[in-house]
């Protein structure tokens, strides 16, 4: 089968082959005698062959923190544990010297927020350093309920993303003192408020040199070189087990087997299978192909978010169910926007992937759905779609294609 071009290219090709009116009856052998016939069709996914799977991203693998208040998408709380936040020595030219801090700051990198909310404030509360990723939402919420407020960070209404911080100097340094048995460590729980129900997403990759939460100390080193007296030390979360977020809504816990789920705390994915009719797969010129997904409930997320939600569609190298490997072809990571607060049909341009299905020995006619932000585990939205077992709203492909011309017919 020869490669298929776009609709415009096909029509240009037809226009270039015309009958010569100066030589009546002369029509080239390969000149089509009729215009291309364009048709639309809807191809439903194979009934009963779609399903959802969970657990692709462990909690410890997340590189984002979610914190919310009053969101329909759920209440989220987070925590971070810092190691040895009060260093008493600093390395200068490879030699350790006594260090006396006089200023400290706690900084976070805000990746996304509701830009329609004002008076945003992030609260930092002291909690026991024993917290880790085995916590549940209820247990963290209980700790927060009795935890004292260490400080709060006021976020400018004009700041959409970037660093937010609070500083401690003078007498305020006493607020971050630790007891001997904590070995200098400190654990902070995070909550948020604003003029309306809202939430924020914070970067928290402990392996990164930038973006992760950081305790930074500035002060004086006990050195004779006056140019090197002022020094600073940065302290970040010590391991991936020492930060995390929890929500009170986890759709995976009550998943309906007759619906399709993506994203969420358990990193859901869904597989959908199609059977493209033979006359389209082998002979037709596909001009357009669109996947249509119907939300089974309102797409609740973060209103006015800086980072928009979207569904990721991946072709498969082989259909192995939950462990199917993604198709390793450049440009075939497809995506469609998810509109927060609506139940609008989600559409994804599938032209490039359907074209792969038309090739001889091509990949299986199956796709994986995932949340586009899944690798970071950092989205408030947990999309749910109707499946092939639903009475309506089943997944389908809408295909526009052209029938092959018939050469030699005047």
Residues 71 and 45 in one domain: no
pLDDT at 277: 95
Instruction: Flag whether 410 is in a domain.
Output: no
Range(s) of the domain holding residue 130: 59-247
Residues 203 and 267 in one domain: no
- The tens digit of pLDDT for each residue in 310-358 reads 999 999 999 999 999 988 887 788 999 999 999 999 999 999 999 999 9
List Cα–Cα distances, 132 to 62, 69, 82, 148, in angstroms.
13, 22, 12, 19
Residues 273 and 226 in one domain: no
Q: How far apart are CA 135 and CA 403, in angstroms?
A: 59
Residues 233 and 325 in one domain: no
Residues 40 and 72 in one domain: no
β-strands 186-193, 76-82 pairing: antiparallel
Residues 163 and 270 in one domain: no
Assess contact for 143 and 191: CB atoms under 8 A: no
Instruction: Flag whether 359 is in a domain.
Output: yes
Q: In 3D, which of 307, 344, 319, 346 has the Cα closest to residue 112?
A: 307
Stated as kind and residue range, the H or E segment containing 141 is: helix 137-146
CA dihedral over 28, 33, 39, 45, signed as positive or negative: negative
- Domain CATH for 33: 2.60.120
Q: In 3D, which of 265, 252, 241, 248 has the Cα closest to residue 141?
A: 248
Residues 193 and 235 in one domain: yes
> Judging by beta carbons within 10 Å of its beta carbon (0-12, 13-18, 19+), is residue 161 exposed, middle or buried?
middle
Residues 285 and 384 in one domain: yes
The structure tokens listed for 231 are: 């020094």
Assess contact for 140 and 79: CB atoms under 8 A: yes
Instruction: Flag whether 238 is in a domain.
Output: yes
Q: pTM (2 decimals)?
A: 0.83
pLDDT at 21: 34
Instruction: Flag whether 290 is in a domain.
Output: yes
Residues 45 and 118 in one domain: no
Instruction: Flag whether 215 is in a domain.
Output: yes
Helix, coil or strand: residue 235? strand
Residues 159 and 204 in one domain: yes
The 76-82 sheet, strands edge to edge: 149-155, 120-127, 186-193, 76-82, 243-247
Residues 269 and 374 in one domain: yes
The structure tokens listed for 187 are: 């654990």
Residues 178 and 98 in one domain: yes
Instruction: Flag whether 1 is in a domain.
Output: no
Number of domains in the chain: 2
∠ CA 202-208-213, rounded to 5°: 40
Instruction: Flag whether 408 is in a domain.
Output: no
pLDDT at 406: 62
Q: Which of 197, 214, 247 is the last residue of a domain?
A: 247
Q: Which of 230, 247, 264 is the last residue of a domain?
A: 247
- The tens digit of pLDDT for each residue in 255-285 reads 999 999 999 888 899 999 999 999 999 889 9
Q: Which of 217, 247, 277 is the last residue of a domain?
A: 247
Profile the chain (410 residues) by mean pLDDT over runs of 10 residues. Answer: 42 37 43 73 97 81 87 93 82 91 93 94 94 88 94 96 94 88 88 96 71 89 92 80 83 93 90 95 93 97 90 94 88 89 96 93 94 73 96 96 67
The structure tokens listed for 145 are: 């309920």
CA dihedral over 281, 286, 290, 292, signed as positive or negative: negative
């Amino acid at each position: 089968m020869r490669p298929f071009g776009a609709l415009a290219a096909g029509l240009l090709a037809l226009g270039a082959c015309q009958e010569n009116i100066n030589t009546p009856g002369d029509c080239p052998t390969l000149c089509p005698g009729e215009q291309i016939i364009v048709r639309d069709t809807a191809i439903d996914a194979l009934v009963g062959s779609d399903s959802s799977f969970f657990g692709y991203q462990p909690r410890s693998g997340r590189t984002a923190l979610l914190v919310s208040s009053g969101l329909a998408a759920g209440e989220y709380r987070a925590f971070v544990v810092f190691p040895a936040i009060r260093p008493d020595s600093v390395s200068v030219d490879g030699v350790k010297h006594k260090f006396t801090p006089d200023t400290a700051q706690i900084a976070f990198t805000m990746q996304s927020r509701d830009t329609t909310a004002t008076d945003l404030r992030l609260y930092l509360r002291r909690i026991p350093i024993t917290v880790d990723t085995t916590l549940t939402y209820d247990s963290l919420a209980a700790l927060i309920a009795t935890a004292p407020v260490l400080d709060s960070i006021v976020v400018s209404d004009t700041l959409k993303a970037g660093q937010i911080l609070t500083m401690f100097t003078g007498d305020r340094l006493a607020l971050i003192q630790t007891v001997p048995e904590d070995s200098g460590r400190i654990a902070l729980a995070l909550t948020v408020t604003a003029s309306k129900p809202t939430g924020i997403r914070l970067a928290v990759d402990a392996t990164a040199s930038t973006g992760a939460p950081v305790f930074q100390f500035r002060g004086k080193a006990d050195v004779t070189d006056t140019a090197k007296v002022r020094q600073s030390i940065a302290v970040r979360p010590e391991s991936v087990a020492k930060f995390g977020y929890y929500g009170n809504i986890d759709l995976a816990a009550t998943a309906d087997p007759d619906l399709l789920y993506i994203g969420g705390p358990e990193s859901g994915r869904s597989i959908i299978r199609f059977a493209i009719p033979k006359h389209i797969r082998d002979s037709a010129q596909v001009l357009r192909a669109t996947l249509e997904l119907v939300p089974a409930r309102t797409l609740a997320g973060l209103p006015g978010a800086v980072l928009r939600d979207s569904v990721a569609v991946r072709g498969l190298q082989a259909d192995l169910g939950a462990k199917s490997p993604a198709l390793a072809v450049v440009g075939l990571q497809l995506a469609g926007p998810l509109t927060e607060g609506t139940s609008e049909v989600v559409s994804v341009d599938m032209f490039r992937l359907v074209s792969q299905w038309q090739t001889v020995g091509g990949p299986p006619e199956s796709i994986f759905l995932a949340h586009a932000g899944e690798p970071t585990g950092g989205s408030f939205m947990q999309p749910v779609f109707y499946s092939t077992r639903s009475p309506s709203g089943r997944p389908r492909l809408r295909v526009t294609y052209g029938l092959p011309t018939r050469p030699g017919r005047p």
